[in-house]
Structure 1
Amino acid sequence: MKPDVIRHLEGESLGRFPVWMMRQAGRYLQTYRDIRKENSFWEMVSRPEVAARVSLLPLEVLDVDAVIFFSDILTLPYGLGVPVELHEGVGPVLPAPLRSENDFATFESFDPSTHTKFVGDALTRIREGLHPSKALFGFAGAPWTVASYLIEGRSSREFRHLLGWMQKDPQGLARVLQTLAEATTRYLEYQIRSGAHAVQLFDTWASVLPLNFYEQYYLPIVNGVFEKLAPLGVPRIYYFKQAAHLAPAVAKLRADVLSVDSNLTLPEWSQLFEGRFSLQGNLDPTTLLLDEATVRAKTRELVQQAGTLAKPAILNLGHGILKDVPVANAKAFVDEARQLWV
């Protein structure tokens, strides 16, 4: 028996749209906060029993159709031994940023079954705890977005080191991105072998990519990841936000699903890509901070929009769920989405 999300993407009618939320195993859940008090973030990620427990938390209160395993887009470099610190209110911080091609040579030796065995163990545990109708999603950070943290040393508004490298030596930066892409491919292959039904590539900072660099250098790199995953037969999802300017290049991706933000409606995104992809999204995360009646009304609008698309859609948010969202509102979104038959 295949999970509902997978059957839906393959064209089988469920009579409704599947739904889940990015960051659904997060700080808006009291149980998550309780577990976090007892563990550092990297302990939660690297201890399979804890990561599996946290990944499954949403199913205790929400009838979501998919579970995304609890991890981070920088887990791959962390597993390799690259120092990555998590600072409250700041995010990831690298005390020693990587700013030369030689600095990235360590990624050539990345072996997911050795360096991130805890990921495979967590995925196996999650699959054991999932009902067959529920899907397990794996994920990784996309090469550009991971590089942005590794090169800048932290989240940035200016990206001066990354964009400076791109302007001075675009071919050198492209070689670094290719090295990261090859490691990411091995990482996602390992996740699929460990039980993931689908994988999502998060390119959160694609918004700062110029279109010409994306088309000339980055598109072949990302497509290389998707093409190597194709024989494994699972849906490949690409997430990007605030980057509609990249549409001419993104339209050429070999992904199966685009996970899109809330800046356009689903029909507008579909039109932009001429209906080439299934779409995932895209309720504004701030909607879940409003009253429950508004959450339900906006969810109904989203379902109506999804119903106009030529390809199957997955309902989600335009970005991760916010930490202050009332659980009742998250539940209202999921419940409303699931009970609206199409």
Structure 2
Amino acid sequence: MTDSSPAASSASPSSAAMRRDAPFLRACRREPASVTPIWLMRQAGRYMPEYRAVRNKVGFLELCKRPELACQVTVEAAEILGVDAAILFADILLILEPLGFDLEFAKGEGPVIHNPIRCPEDLQRVRPLSDHQPLDYVTKAVKLIRDTLPPRLPLIGFAGAPFTLACYAIEGGGSRNFETAKSFMRTHPEAWRTLLDRLADATAIYLNAQVAAGADALQLFDSWVGSLSPSDYVESVQPAMRRLFASLDATVPRIHFGTDTAMLLTHQRDAGGEVIGLDHRVPLDWGWERLGDQVAVQGNLDPTCLFAPIPEIRRQADRILAEAGGRPGHIFNLGHGILPGTPVDHVKALVDYVHERTSR
């Protein structure tokens, strides 16, 4: 098996020590920081001309699989925006390919799984991931990004959470109501648990390899988990999440993010993660009160606010900062990813304003 221990990281101990006091990592540890750190989900995306210039030459999957291009768009976005952390450019569904799923990013349709799971017998073709080698293009990108970024700027690695991955694998793509996946979950509970455990184990290998390659923090995206009731989450998802977090390298902060999760927050906290991401539907102070002081929080400006005039963006940022109350452990972010068409100067204005208002 390929070595994926932290000692194998391409980042030198001295540069890692430099980043330990970076505002983003201090906030993850709920320590006072010189400024409220800010980074944004989907920092590198279609709203940015530099990203579109790359995408005009290559398809999305090719961009993900070419480390030098993934490095380019990751680093460009962080430098242009002046954020406090870079996030690896990749996609949550990449891990499904080595597990045996036929993945395509169809133009105008989004991701498509051509051989979805529809019955328990289909699990026989879901291969376990024994090491990260089939995804080495991602770890190569992490190493290249870490070597290219300024030494003091942290890098976030990420993956999709088992529930969201399972929904894609069963639905065969996006869904409004997840009826196929939820029906499978309730009709075949043993097969469902087997699938989620297999996804959790594969994701742990994948994320630990990202840490070994130089990632300073990890984020788990559970984009669709808000479609579940609290009882369904606790019974059918939380065990796999606990299994996953127990297998992740605990030397780096782990961010646990979902959308529409107001009623799931405490269950997510109990599943694992030093930081809980809040989407824009949850008042930050209310969410933090429910979670308690033992975790940091990340969020949570509505991404559509970035289309508003800059004075309104500042007003909305002030509201969120007031809800955070200056407490250590707040990482400013959006409630979800930057939307296509967002004015780049508005994004920069938000980053600059958060730094200006919170400089200590």
Give the TM-score band, short-chain normalised: over 0.9
Alignment match, 1:7: 26
Residue identity in the other structure for 1:175: T
Alignment match, 2:223: 204
Give 1:132 deviation, angstroms: 2.1
Alignment match, 2:258: 240
Alignment match, 1:286: 304
Whether the aligned pair in 2 keeps the contact of 1:267 and 1:308 (CA below 8 Å) is: no
Alignment match, 2:285: 267
Give 1:79 deviation, angstroms: 4.2
Range 106-115 or range 327-336, more displaced: 106-115
Alignment match, 1:172: 191
Output one character per residue of 1:265-300: Cα deviation in whole Å (capped at 9) or x when no partner: 211101122333200010010000111111122122
Whether the aligned pair in 2 keeps the contact of 1:108 and 1:183 (CA below 8 Å) is: no
Alignment match, 1:147: 166
Output one character per residue of 1:173-198: Cα deviation in whole Å (capped at 9) or x when no partner: 11111111111111111111111100
Out of 128, 131, 147, the residue aligned to residue 128 of structure 1 is 147
Hey, what's the Cα distance between the residues in 2 that align with 1:276 and 1:60?
32
- Give % identity: 36
3-state DSSP of counterpart to 1:183:
helix
5+ residue gaps, structure 2, are 1-17
Hey, what's the Cα distance between the residues in 2 that align with 1:137 and 1:317?
16
Whether the aligned pair in 2 keeps the contact of 1:104 and 1:179 (CA below 8 Å) is: no
Output one character per residue of 1:49-108: Cα deviation in whole Å (capped at 9) or x when no partner: 111111112133211011111000101113445221112343111122122344344554
CA gap of 1:84–1:116, structure 2 versus 1, over 3 A, is same
**Aligned pairs, how many?**
340
1:295 aligns with 2:313: yes
Hey, what's the Cα distance between the residues in 1 that align with 2:211 and 2:66?
19
Hey, what's the Cα distance between the residues in 1 that align with 2:133 and 2:356?
43
Whether the aligned pair in 1 keeps the contact of 2:30 and 2:295 (CA below 8 Å) is: no
Q: CA RMSD in A?
A: 1.7
Out of 305, 310, 333, the residue aligned to residue 316 of structure 1 is 333
Give 1:217 deviation, angstroms: 3.2
3-state DSSP of counterpart to 2:247:
helix
CA gap of 1:86–1:133, structure 2 versus 1, over 3 A, is same
Structure 1-normalised TM-score? Answer: 0.94
Give 1:112 deviation, angstroms: 4.4
Residue identity in the other structure for 2:181: L
5+ residue gaps, structure 1, are none
Output one character per residue of 1:206-238: Cα deviation in whole Å (capped at 9) or x when no partner: 0122322221232121011111214x4100111
CA gap of 1:105–1:2, structure 2 versus 1, over 3 A, is farther
Whether the aligned pair in 1 keeps the contact of 2:280 and 2:301 (CA below 8 Å) is: yes
Out of 335, 338, 342, the residue aligned to residue 352 of structure 2 is 335
Alignment match, 2:247: 228
Alignment match, 2:200: 181
Residue identity in the other structure for 2:32: S
CA gap of 1:106–1:71, structure 2 versus 1, over 3 A, is farther
Hey, what's the Cα distance between the residues in 2 that align with 1:277 and 1:159?
30
CA gap of 1:42–1:79, structure 2 versus 1, over 3 A, is farther
Q: After superposition, where does 1:108-127 map in structure 2 within 5 Å?
A: 108-127=127-146
Q: After superposition, where does 1:246-257 map in structure 2 within 5 Å?
A: 246-257=264-275
CA gap of 1:247–1:302, structure 2 versus 1, over 3 A, is closer
3-state DSSP of counterpart to 2:56:
helix
Whether the aligned pair in 1 keeps the contact of 2:38 and 2:332 (CA below 8 Å) is: yes
Range 134-143 or range 97-106, more displaced: 97-106
Hey, what's the Cα distance between the residues in 2 that align with 1:284 and 1:189?
31
Whether the aligned pair in 2 keeps the contact of 1:261 and 1:317 (CA below 8 Å) is: yes
Hey, what's the Cα distance between the residues in 2 that align with 1:329 and 1:112?
42
Whether the aligned pair in 1 keeps the contact of 2:162 and 2:199 (CA below 8 Å) is: yes
1:83 aligns with 2:125: no
Hey, what's the Cα distance between the residues in 2 that align with 1:207 and 1:58?
29
Alignment match, 1:52: 71
Give 1:133 deviation, angstroms: 1.9
3-state DSSP of counterpart to 1:75:
helix
Whether the aligned pair in 1 keeps the contact of 2:101 and 2:114 (CA below 8 Å) is: no
Hey, what's the Cα distance between the residues in 2 that align with 1:23 and 1:9?
19
Range 243-252 or range 40-49, more displaced: 243-252
